[in-house]
A and B are shown apart, each in its own frame.
Chain A
Amino acid sequence: MKPVPRIRKRDGELVEFDESRIADAIYKAALSVGGEDRFIAEELAGVVSLFLEKSFQGVIPTIEDVQDMVEKVLIETGHAGTAKSYILYREERTRIRDAEARTRPPVQGRLFDPGPVLVLDAAEEQVGPLSGEVLSRKLVAEARLSPRTADEVARAVEDRALQLGLESVTGTLLARLIDVELISRGLLKAVDNRGGVLVPRQSVERSLYPKTHARSGTPAERIAERVLRQYALEEQLPRSCAEAHLDGRIRVIGLGRPSALFAATLSADAIRTWGIPWLKGRFRPEAVADPRRFTALLGRAVRGIAPHVSDGLSLCRLNMLLAPLLAGRSKTDLREEAWHLLSEMAGIPGLEIDLGLAPPPIFASRKARGPDGNSLEETYARFTGTSLQLASAFLEVRGTAAGLGPRSELPRLTLTLGPDALDQDEVLAVVSRAIGEAMAREPVLIVFDREDLPILGTSRTRVRMEDAARLTDTANLSVAVGGRVVINLPRAAYRAGEGHIGDFMREIEAQAELALAALAARSRVIMRSAAAPDGALSPITEGRGDIPPLLNMGGAAWSLGVAGLNEAIGYLTGEELHESDEAAKLGVKTLGLVRLVSSGFARAENLAIGLDAEDDPAICRVLADLDRAEYPRLTDRIPAAYTPGVALRSDAPVDLAVRLETEGRLGIPLRTATVRCFLGEDGHPAPETIIALMWKTWHNTRVKQMLLGRREP
C-alpha cells in the first residue's frame, strides 16, 4: 500500500507526508516518560501512516487528522503514557499558536475580511459576496463532500480568490477555482460529482454567427443542443456507451434533445375527442364538427407536440379519420379541405401525413366516429369512398402545391395499403395518382400493412399495435417511439478483420449490447421526463381525470437501428450482399443475431425494442467518417456514406426483382425497412406496370415499405 503522499498544513499549504517526522514526535513524547527505544517509535509511525492511508483514500488529511491518528495508534497499541505526553505536548503547541495569532496583526485580504470577493453568477442572474458557508453547503450537495472537507475546500477557494487579488469572480471562474482545488487535493470523484457542462466561448460564437446557412435551428436551440448533448454523454449514458458513441461503434440519436421522443404517431380523433392536452379542456362538439375549425385546432396541437419529437411525427390514417366529417362533400370541397390542412401543417419539421388506403381490417366493421366525436350507426367501411377521395385530394394538392409555398415545407404523404387494397379498383385509382406524383415530382413511400392489427409510425420507424383492447377506439391510434440507438455494422467487421466471421459475430453481439444499454439509459431519461409532474413531456404523456394520455408511454416502443450491412458483409467476405447468396445469407444471420440479443434484453428490461433500418443519409455518412478516422488504412475501402440499413448498394447491378427479393428477405428480422425503387432509369414505366410491381412485391416478398420514385433524390 502506498503511504499517504501529502498532507495539508494549518495554513492550507500542501506538504509531502514525512513518516520520520511522526517517528520524531512519538520518540520525543516517549523520552519524556522514560522510554528510549527509537525503533518502536518508527514502528508506530509506520502504523500511523498505514491507518492514514486506509482512512483517507482519495482525501488529503490535515495536520489535525494526522495528530488524531497518532493519539489513536498510541492508545490502541498500549502506549498510554507516551500518548498522554503527546497529548499534553499537542495542547501546549495549540495554546502557543493561538496566543501568537491574537497578537499578530490581521493579514490583508483574509477570509471574512471587510470587502469580500463578489460572485457574478450570470447563469442565475445573481450577484453576491463569496461566502464560505454557502460555498461549503453547495460542495456538500453537489460534490458530495463531507461537511468538514467541504469547509476546508471552501476556505481554500476563498483564500485563492483573495491571493489572486480578485474583487469579483464570474460563476465560470469560481467553478474552475473549485475544480482546481478539488483536483489538487486528489478529489477527482468530487469533481465528477459536481459535473456541469462548460461551453467554450468559441462554440457559443459559432452558434450565434454560423458560417454556413445549412445550420438548423436558432442560436438558442443550437447552444442548448450542444450543452444537452454533452450533459447526456457525460451524465446520462453509462461511460462505456458514451465512449462507444464517440468512437463510432454505436450512434445514440437525439442526444441534443435528451427528453424528446424519437418519433410519435397521433390520432386526429384523440384531439377531436379529448381536446388539446395542455389547454385542459375538451372542445365543444360544434367546434370539432366543422372540418375547417377542427383543422386549425389540429394544427395547433401538432405544433405544440412537434418540439417534443426529434425525428418524425405522423398523423395516422388521416383521410380515414376525417372521412365522416366530410362525407357527401364534392371533390372540389375535399381538395379545399386538403389545401387548408396542408397549409395549416406547413413548416412543421418531420411531419408526415399517413393516408390509409382501405381501413385496417379491425376498423372496417366498427362504428365510425361522427363529426361531433360520438359514434355513428355507420361503420368505417361506409366512408371508404370519401376516405379515398380525400387521399386523392391530398396527393393532388401537395403535387401542385399551388399557393402553399415550397413543397419541402409541406408534410410528406405516405400511403398505407391494407390487405387486398391492391385488388380494389377505387384504391388503385389513388395508387395511380400517387405513382404519377412519384414519377413526376418526388418519391412517395408506400407501406404494406399486411396484418389485421394496424401498423403505425413514421417512415423511419413503425410499430404494430398489438393491444387489441386499445384498438376499440380510433382515438387510441397513437404510438410513441422513445429513442433510437444505431449499431455501426461495418465497424464490427473492421474490428474482427477480413474473413474472421466468428470474431465478427462476437463484435456484433458486443456492439448490440452497448447499443441496448444506451437505449435503456435513454429510456430512463425519457420516462423520468414523461413522469415528472411538470416535465417537458408530461402534458402529452399524462392523463387527466377520465381523459387518457395522448401518448401512452407504458406502450412506448424503442428502436435499435442498423446501418451499413452491405459494407460489413463486403469487408468480411469480399462479396457485397448482391454478389452472392452466401453474402446475403450471412447478412440474414447477422441481423438474426442482433434480433436475438435485443429480444433477450427487451424481455429482461421490459422494453418494447424493435430493429429498424437506419436510412438517414446524414447518419450513414457520420458512421463512415468515424470509421475512416479510426481505420486510416481502410480509407480507400470505406465509402463516403454507408448503404442505408440493410439495403443493397443503390447502384448494385441487379434488376428490381432481385433487389426486392433480397432486401425483402434481409428485412424480415426488422420492424421497419424500406426498399428504394427508382424506376426512371430506362424509360418511364406505365402506372399499370408499377401497380403490377407493387402487387407482386406484396405477394412475393415480405417487403415492408417501398419508396417509389423516378430517380434517387
Chain B
Amino acid sequence: MIGSSTPPIRGIIESSLTHWDGRIVAVVFVGGCNLRCGGCPSPHLIGDGCDQGEIPLDSVLDAIYRRRRWIDGVVIKGGEPLLKPEVLELLELLRDFGLEIRIDTNGTCPEALSEVIRRDLVDFVSMEVKAPLTGQYHRVAGTTVDLGAIFDSIGILLSGEVDYEFRTVVYDGQLTSDDVMAIARTIKGARRYVLRAVKDKGPSRTVLRGLARSAGRHVAGCHVDGRPQDRETPFALFADGDERMNA
C-alpha cells in the first residue's frame, strides 16, 4: 500500500457537481476534528480512530484516476483536513494527477494553511466562520477555540495569495442577523462570503437573501448557497396575474 503516512480517509464521492461551483470534483473526507459543533453534518468524521473504517489510499487514487477525464479537481473535507501534517503528502499525490485542489477548513490550523499555500498545494480554500469571534464562538463550536488561530487564518486568506471564500451556516437560535453582520465586519473586504441555512433548522431563503444583501456592504460578494434560480432572477414577461392563471 502506498502513502502509509497519509491521513485517515473516511469517505469519497467519486464525482460531484455540487461541491465546487463550476467544477466536477471528487470529494475526499478526512477523519478527525478538533471542534464539536452542535449541528455537525458529519459527526462520524470527528473521531480519528481507525475502527471507523478507513478507505485505502490506493483505491481512492484509483477511483480518481478512472474519472480523470471527468473531474477537474478534488475537494478535501473533514472533519478538519489540516489537523494532520500527513495531509501534505495526500495533497502532493493529488497534485501529481494535475488536479485542482480545494480545502474546506474550520480555520483552526493557520500554520498548516500557510504551509499548503506556500507549497502551492491548494487552489481554493473555503473557510467556515462559525460565529462572531467572541465567547459565542466556543459555544457554537462546542469546545474552547483558539480565536487567535481563527484570526490568523482569516488574515492569511484575506492576503489573497490563494482564491478563497468564507462560509457561515445560519442556525435558528444560534446566530442572529447582528451576528452575521459582525462576522461580515470581521472578514471585511473579502471576495466572497457564502451564507447557508440548513433545511428546517435555519431562516427562510428570503430572510437569508436579505441577510446577504446587508452583509454585502462589508464584503465584495455575498451569496446564498443553494438552488440555481437564486443565482438569477427569472425574467417575468407579463403582469403576474398571468402567472397565477396557470397555477
Contact = CB atoms under 8 A, between A and B. Distances in A.
Contacts of B226: 683-684
A657 B229 contact: no
A656 B23 CA distance: 14
B24 A693 contact: yes
Nearest to A339: B237
Contacts of A405: 245-246
A439 B237 contact: no
B243 A400 contact: yes
Given A440-B229, A686-B228, A688-B22, A406 B246 contact: yes
Contacts of A79: none
B201 interface: no
Contacts of B229: 436, 439-440
Contacts of A656: 15, 17
A696 B24 contact: yes
A685 to B, nearest CB: 4
Nearest to A691: B22
A248 B227 CA distance: 44
Contacts of A399: 234
Contact of A679 (B17, B69, B237, B242): B17
A435 interface: yes
A686 B234 CA distance: 15
B149 to A, nearest CB: 30
B236 interface: yes
Given A400-B243, A690-B17, 19 more contacts: A339-B237, A397-B237, A400-B234, A400-B236, A401-B246, A402-B236, A402-B245, A407-B246, A436-B234, A655-B15, A660-B70, A679-B17, A684-B227, A686-B231, A689-B17, A689-B18, A689-B20, A692-B23, A700-B70
11 contacts: A396-B235, A396-B237, A401-B246, A402-B243, A440-B227, A657-B70, A660-B70, A682-B16, A684-B226, A684-B227, A687-B228
Interface of B: 13-18, 20-24, 67, 69-72, 226-229, 231-232, 234-238, 242-243, 245-246
A689 B237 contact: no
A693 B24 CA distance: 7
Given A656-B15, A657-B71, A679-B17, A689 B234 contact: no
| 8 A-B pairs closest in CB distance | A685-B17, A683-B18, A688-B22, A402-B242, A657-B70, A686-B21, A403-B242, A402-B238
A55 B14 CA distance: 79
Interface string A640-684: 000000000000000111101000000000000000000100111
Contacts of A685: 17-18, 228
A357 B21 CA distance: 24
A436 B18 CA distance: 15
A335 interface: yes
Interface residues of A, number: 37
A405 B246 CA distance: 6
Interface in A371-415: 396-397, 399-407
A402 B237 contact: yes
A660 B70 CA distance: 10
B24 A689 contact: yes
Contacts of B21: 686, 688-689
Contacts of A696: 24, 69-70
A557 B191 CA distance: 56
Contacts of B243: 400, 402
Contacts of B72: 692
A283 to B, nearest CB: 29
Contacts of B246: 401-402, 404-407
Contact of A689 (B23, B69, B235, B245): B23
B76 to A, nearest CB: 18
Contacts of B23: 689, 692
Contacts of B231: 686-687
A658 B237 CA distance: 40
A692 B72 CA distance: 9
Contacts of B227: 439-440, 684
Nearest to B230: A684
Nearest to B71: A657
A339 B235 CA distance: 14
A125 to B, nearest CB: 46
Contacts of A684: 18, 226-228
A191 B217 CA distance: 89
Contacts of A432: 232
B15 A657 contact: yes
Contacts of B238: 400, 402-403
Contacts of B232: 432, 436
Interface string A681-713: 011111111101100100010000000000000
A399 B235 CA distance: 9
A372 B71 CA distance: 50
B14 to A, nearest CB: 5
Contacts of A657: 14-15, 24, 67, 70-71
A688 B234 CA distance: 17
Interface in A218-267: none
A489 B209 CA distance: 52
Q: Which residue of B70, B226, B234, B243 has the most chain A CB atoms within 10 A of its CB atom? A: B70
B86 to A, nearest CB: 27
Contacts of A397: 237
A404 B242 CA distance: 8
